[in-house]
């Protein structure tokens, strides 16, 4: 029997998204095109594969059984074919999807884009969010090239590489009436705080670090992204506890000043993870080395 291999990534994406709309967006195709691909999949595999229910499309038992087999088959095929191909970054033309968390998007991705423009101008990046669930990113099926951030409990088909560590510092407004060049534990606890709640485990790490040092915070406002911090802190007497690399960027704002945290809050890792199918792909290897280069330069 002849199989259309182009349909297999569609199948894996539907397994993750359980939605024709989201799967089409992930793959960069129209919904009618994806619906057509699903119809061909059903005909090829002689099974409905997905049943539409109130809260999305649920896979059939056959789809559940096929998913790991299909993922492994694609990984083996990629390793065999792509490993034999050369890669010239200066002449490459392709779209690459990566999933950075909000921290990495802020501190690392701009430098990565600048390096790509210099060395591989034909490579375009598409960013998809990396929150608390790896499955939402597409990296488990290999649709997304890599995730960048904190990677917890990765499945066996992901390779994880440590990129760097970062520490924590504090940001207040430049003319703060209480805080000068340093901040005591007492001052820290008396201030009101802006709390950043990005998706994932970065926020958990901060809470745990504060608890280890016996530090309490009175949170006045919680925001969802680091970009909300400058305007919030600049017009209040609030304090924000943030990764040091973000603080370094905010230190260029004359309305703000960065001071050390009142206690050693430790460090947190930044990691890169990718599907095993890309292990020997020359283009992916080159991109991974570029990401590592950028991270080491930070």
Tens digits of residue pLDDT in 49-60: 999 887 788 999
8 A C-beta contact, residue 104 and residue 131: no
Give Cα 43 distance to the centre of its chain. Answer: 35
8 A C-beta contact, residue 144 and residue 128: yes
How far is Cα 152 from Cα 200, in angstroms, rounded to an integer? 10
Give Cα 272 distance to the centre of its chain. Answer: 9
Domains of the chain (ranges, CATH numbers): 7-82 (1.10.10.10), 94-161+270-297 (3.40.190.10), 168-266 (3.40.190.10)
8 A C-beta contact, residue 251 and residue 258: yes
Q: In this predicted model, what pLDDT tens digit does every residue of 59-87 receive, in sequence order?
A: 999 998 888 888 877 777 766 665 555 68
Q: Tokens 């990764």 identify what position?
A: 243
Does the global pTM surpass 0.75? no
Least confident range of 78-82, 188-192, 259-263: 78-82
Between vectors from CA 129 to CA 127 and to CA 130, what angle results, nearest 5°?
A: 120
8 A C-beta contact, residue 102 and residue 35: no
Q: In this predicted model, what pLDDT tens digit does every residue of 86-123 receive, in sequence order?
A: 688 999 888 899 999 989 999 999 999 999 999 999 99
| Largest pairwise CA distance in the chain | 76
- The β-bridge relationship of strands 192-196 and 268-275 is unpaired
């Amino acid at each position: 029997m002849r199989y259309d291999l182009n349909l297999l990534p569609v199948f894996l994406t539907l397994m993750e998204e359980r939605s024709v709309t989201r799967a089409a967006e992930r793959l960069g195709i129209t919904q009618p095109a994806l619906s057509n691909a699903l119809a061909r999949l059903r005909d090829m595999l002689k099974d409905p594969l997905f049943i539409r229910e109130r809260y999305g499309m649920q896979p059939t038992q056959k789809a559940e059984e096929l998913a790991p087999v299909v993922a492994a088959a694609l990984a083996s095929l990629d390793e065999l074919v792509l490993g034999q191909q050369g890669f010239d970054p200066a002449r490459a033309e392709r779209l690459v999807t990566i999933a950075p968390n909000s921290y990495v998007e802020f501190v690392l991705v701009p430098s990565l884009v600048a390096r790509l423009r210099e060395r591989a101008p034909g490579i375009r990046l598409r960013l998809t969010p990396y929150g608390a669930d790896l499955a939402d990113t597409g990296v488990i099926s290999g649709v997304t090239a890599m995730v960048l951030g904190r990677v917890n409990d990765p499945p066996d088909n992901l390779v994880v590489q440590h990129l760097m560590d970062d520490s924590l510092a504090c940001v207040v407004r430049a003319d703060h009436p209480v805080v000068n060049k340093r901040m005591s534990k007492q001052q820290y606890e008396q201030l009101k705080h802006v709390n950043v709640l990005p998706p994932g485990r970065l926020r958990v790490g901060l809470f745990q670090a504060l608890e280890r040092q016996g530090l309490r915070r009175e949170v006045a406002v919680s925001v969802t992204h680091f970009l909300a911090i400058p305007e919030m802190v600049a017009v209040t007497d609030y304090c924000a506890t943030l990764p040091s690399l973000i603080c370094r960027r905010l230190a260029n704002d004359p309305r703000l000043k960065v001071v050390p945290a009142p206690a050693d809050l430790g460090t947190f890792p930044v990691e890169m993870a990718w599907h095993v199918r890309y292990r020997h792909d020359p283009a992916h290897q080159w991109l991974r080395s570029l990401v590592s280069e950028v991270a080491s330069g930070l």
